[in-house]
Amino acid sequence: MATVAGQDASSEREPIDAMTLLLDPEAVAQIRVVERAIGRHDLFSGLVAKLEGNLNGFGAAWSELIARGDTTGAQRAAHTLKGTCRQLGAAALGDLFAEIERSAKAGDYAEAKRKFDEGASLIAQSLEALKRA
């Protein structure tokens, strides 16, 4: 039986909101613990803002790296975003960048860019969920 965030997906409980599906609340909670420990309540929001900037610049940066023939840099860019997304608890977004990275490693840079472009809605939803967390 499928479960999401510890709930039985087939039960007649209240529907699970989209934020729960997009974010791992435990990852967010761990960052919040660090915030409290260091006395900075802007750590998570700062990381999200940095991620947003990197996501906004990814398409152009990707195209530039590929145009220069820096395929290693393109793979690294996807790999970095994959890890950052997962560390912040945005697993589905991390999975998108894992797919982009796989395509790049296979030498299919057009497919990687297509996956990024098609992931625009997931990117927007994930960023919104992160901002609300």
pLDDT in tens, 1-22: 333 344 434 334 344 455 558 9
Domain range for 94: 17-132
Q: Is 28 inside any structural domain?
A: yes
Assess contact for 129 and 19: CB atoms under 8 A: yes
Q: For residue 92, what is the domain's CATH number?
A: 1.20.120
Q: What is the mean pLDDT of residues 110-114?
A: 96
- How much is the pLDDT for 20? 56
Q: Is 1 inside any structural domain?
A: no
Q: In 10 A of CB 115, how many CB atoms?
A: 19
pLDDT in tens, 30-80: 999 999 999 999 999 999 999 999 999 999 999 999 999 999 999 999 999
